[in-house]
Structure 1
């Protein structure tokens, strides 16, 4: 097939529709209308191929932390391409940007997380963490500790193992198979959906007791790792009860279980910190997985950051091999992009901005709870979720076929705002460069869209309590 360039918007949509299988493809709607084709991005804004402008409150996919269109990012990437476009990092070869970035991440990570293994994204970082947990436990003389524990409504990636560790209902389609043996799931720490209307403190006690009961059932001598997002991002921005994560970490330490903090979303400023585990929640992990904000989406890159203790145990017998890695691990161009990205975050105090503006953003979004259809607004700093319900008193959900989250997102899109629909939820994770004016724009537009959708539902005969 010969394609002539440049192409207009209808041609691009047609080619995409004819040939492109999108991640999480929803075949019916896609085949009916195709995709929205983006052409340009600057700061927090996107333009489609027909010239329409959108404020991207999604932040790409939780990742455009420094904003789009940064010339110095383009220059850093181009310069590295000219100097060294590729060099593999297998066994005993490296490159300058990879060495510098590993050292930089070690300096930013909490405690003795001084060792770094590069991946191409968050999914394969989690996949590698799963393997590292088993490797470590085995060399420590605990080969039976192969079982892993995670939570319901978690998302850890889309490789076979990372998606098996995660467990969002919408991800578990019947046409795929997932690893069921050896991976266990606890209740999500969502206080809004706590059983029997428990208060937060009682719910926290209940969750910790559930963990202890699960360990007793499996046998702590068989459990190698606990995987936890500090805030469960794609599961609905679930912020755990106060004290929950430190208590879970203490139980892990008691039983020689490695605590794996999946910070693919929360690292690099989303909560106003380089890493949220320690600074936001007081937990010192054994392993941190990260990606997304590491390069602000300019190039694909992920990393697994782990403790000196794990390195020393794995390396104790100099004859051992750690047989895990990827062709593009430590890619020099991606690492150069990450170094420039971190430099920008530091120079412009974007962590401070995320804290200051994030506080405003939380407050403005929280005000949406006054609307009849909004059951709860939850989140921290620059990651927020709006949960839409049929009845605020009972927290009953609207019928799934109404697809209320998509209705709201589509209405926002028509008004020039992008928010992410997830069933009955709408999620936002705007760039760290957000301003107070931007907060008002998002809040006013989203409020108008929710009101408009609620009015339409009432006209259709839907009862909103």
Structure 2
């Protein structure tokens, strides 16, 4: 690529190490510089407009350029730009947001703890599970079960729960105590003639076998996204969560609902937990909590989860954990305003109203000869392409073609994922999918 010396592109290649790229290749290819955003669109430095078909990273619910969030950040920055919540200190925005989350929770929750990202939050939940097991006099009950293709973050513990090879290779992950059961990918894993209900029962049976092989007394928790997002958008089949939860209850295994992508309206309810009738002991939320305008995540925990932890901290004299930015006043103030916007504008209702059109567009693309299957719910979906050559080539070619057409999506293996801002309209959906269809026609994995 032709770069102007000392341009943003040249300096980016010279100085910044990027996530989720081939770092060596990036030294040559460089980055697309996004300069500004407005609604469901972002614009590069040349002024080219793109549909942000992934809402940033599954996260910008209210769209780009929302002035109310900028104003909330400015007001809080001027009043109290930073304070911590260590050692019996607090401030208004963190208290207000914690109370709001407890009131919004679809199942009874007792306490909220804030972090800056979903990875940090899931990592801490693992620590809390271990701490709690020790508090209960069950020091052997420490194993954590995730799922193949599940995504829970990239820290050492969260990366170990994650079930993606790209996040494990050469990082020496997963570490000990972390196990994985099957992804509920009905389209690929169902036996001939197997119904969704029967498939779900088999998935639960395989989970039960894993727990019994390991020893129920050693298994502390099961982590699951209501809808698996970053692994390729896998929507659970009929009765899946009911069957899984029955096994977890039978063997006293905690359920942690990772709502980092599904929280705050993505599936057509405020939380994916509601959509699928889940009864988690812990919920982890991030991304759409502040539309990613500020880095913030929250752990919501039931009283049954929290109480032994509190008792153990009393025995020890202190709860020996904390992050500098936990409950940051600016982040919590922005998250509160973001949730107000979601509620006032009924963006959860907009998701439900727009979802049939979104899913109909996906089904239309399923007839394309390059498409193997499509998946989706609410305003999150994927089209999985027939593989051509190495796994991932078809997905990468599709993402590249979509970018040229003016749509930013996400390639996960040979799946092309879409997750637009919750503010999207019918006409914007139609225009976005028309461009996706053009990209599908022209994508060339062999090129």
Aligned match of 1:419: 409
Q: Is the 8 A contact 2:63 2:421 kept in 1?
A: yes
Q: Is the 8 A contact 1:9 1:50 kept in 2?
A: no
Residue 245 of structure 2 corresponds to residue 255 of structure 1 = no
Matches of 1:297 and 1:118 in 2, distance apart?
Answer: 15
Give CA-to-partner distance per residue, 1:428-451, whole Å, 9 cap, x none: 110000100111112111111111
More off after superposition, 425-434 vs 239-248: 239-248
Instruction: Return the offset for 1:9.
Output: 9.9
Instruction: Return the offset for 1:28.
Output: 4.0
Instruction: Return the offset for 1:364.
Output: 1.1
Matches of 2:245 and 2:199 in 1, distance apart?
Answer: 17
Residue 22 of structure 2 corresponds to residue 26 of structure 1 = yes
Residues 402 and 302 of structure 1: is their aligned pair in 2 closer, same or farther, counting only changes over 3 Å? Answer: closer
Matches of 2:331 and 2:340 in 1, distance apart?
Answer: 14
Matches of 1:402 and 1:134 in 2, distance apart?
Answer: 37
Q: Is the 8 A contact 1:204 1:244 kept in 2?
A: yes
Aligned match of 2:146: 150
Aligned match of 1:219: 215
Match of 1:80 among 76, 82, 87: 76
Q: Is the 8 A contact 1:9 1:49 kept in 2?
A: no
Aligned match of 1:273: 269
Residue 286 of structure 2 corresponds to residue 291 of structure 1 = yes
Matches of 2:4 and 2:113 in 1, distance apart?
Answer: 42
Aligned match of 1:325: 322
Aligned match of 2:431: 441
Residues 32 and 191 of structure 1: is their aligned pair in 2 closer, same or farther, counting only changes over 3 Å? Answer: same
Gaps of 5+ in 2: none
Aligned match of 2:181: 186
Match of 1:428 among 410, 418, 429: 418
Aligned match of 2:165: 169
Residues 216 and 415 of structure 1: is their aligned pair in 2 closer, same or farther, counting only changes over 3 Å? Answer: same
Match of 1:49 among 45, 51, 54: 45
Instruction: Return the offset for 1:168.
Output: 1.1
Instruction: Return the offset for 1:308.
Output: 1.5
Give CA-to-partner distance per residue, 1:269-291, whole Å, 9 cap, x none: 111222111x1001110001111
Alignment of 1:295-314 (within 5 A): 295-314=290-309
Give CA-to-partner distance per residue, 1:280-331, whole Å, 9 cap, x none: 0011100011110010010000111000122222223534432222100000
Residue 394 of structure 2 corresponds to residue 404 of structure 1 = yes
Q: Is the 8 A contact 2:391 2:413 kept in 1?
A: no
Aligned match of 2:351: 354
Residue 366 of structure 2 corresponds to residue 366 of structure 1 = no
Match of 1:62 among 41, 44, 58: 58
More off after superposition, 43-52 vs 195-204: 195-204
Secondary structure at 1:25 match in 2? coil
Residues 376 and 118 of structure 1: is their aligned pair in 2 closer, same or farther, counting only changes over 3 Å? Answer: same
Residue 120 of structure 2 corresponds to residue 124 of structure 1 = yes
Gaps of 5+ in 1: 1-6, 390-396, 461-465
Secondary structure at 1:400 match in 2? coil
Aligned match of 2:225: 229
Matches of 2:86 and 2:175 in 1, distance apart?
Answer: 32
Instruction: Return the offset for 1:155.
Output: 0.8
Match of 2:384 among 387, 398, 402: 387
Matches of 1:245 and 1:253 in 2, distance apart?
Answer: 12
Matches of 1:388 and 1:25 in 2, distance apart?
Answer: 21
Matches of 1:172 and 1:308 in 2, distance apart?
Answer: 34
Instruction: Return the offset for 1:401.
Output: 6.7
Instruction: Return the offset for 1:263.
Output: 0.7
Matches of 2:145 and 2:31 in 1, distance apart?
Answer: 37
Matches of 1:55 and 1:263 in 2, distance apart?
Answer: 24
Give CA-to-partner distance per residue, 1:362-416, whole Å, 9 cap, x none: 1111110110011111021111011001xxxxxxx32127711121111111121
Q: TM-score, normalised by structure 1?
A: 0.92
Give CA-to-partner distance per residue, 1:335-376, whole Å, 9 cap, x none: 000000000000000000011102210111111011001111
Match of 1:453 among 433, 438, 443: 443
Matches of 2:129 and 2:423 in 1, distance apart?
Answer: 36
Residues 113 and 265 of structure 1: is their aligned pair in 2 closer, same or farther, counting only changes over 3 Å? Answer: same
Give CA-to-partner distance per residue, 1:186-209, whole Å, 9 cap, x none: 010000111543332222121111
Instruction: Return the offset for 1:129.
Output: 0.7
Instruction: Return the offset for 1:8.
Output: 7.9
Q: Is the 8 A contact 1:9 1:37 kept in 2?
A: no
Instruction: Return the offset for 1:66.
Output: 0.4
